[in-house]
Amino acid sequence: MRIPRPRSLAGRLFAMQLVLVAAAVGGFALFSYAMDRTGAEETARRQTTATAADHPSVATAVRSADPTALLQPYAERLRKDAGSTSW
């Protein structure tokens, strides 16, 4: 059996640099993904709210005694029309 020889200091420093760069790039990629996803969801939420607020049936439902009873069927119809599978 052959005993492996110890690596040089330069080899160990290079390996450590590779690991640190890979960790930094991976961390940045995860951070960017999380921020983009959050931004996209917030933008979609604002657009949906603005669109729904302009609809006359929403304004009528908000002023009624039981808005949920009037808004739920409308929201469900919008969800189906948009092709969304769940909330």
Burial class (CB in 10 A: 0-12, 13-18, 19+), 70: middle
Burial 18-51 (b: 16+ CB within 10 A, else e): eeeeeeeeeeeeeeeeeeeeeeeeeeeeeeeeee
* Residue pLDDT, tens place only, 55-83: 787 878 878 888 888 888 888 887 787 77
Delimit the domains of the chain by residue range.
12-54, 55-87
* Residue pLDDT, tens place only, 15-71: 999 999 999 999 999 999 999 888 888 888 788 777 766 778 787 887 888 888 888
For residue 5 the two structure tokens come to 């020889």
Q: Are 75 and 67 in contact (CB under 8 A)?
A: no
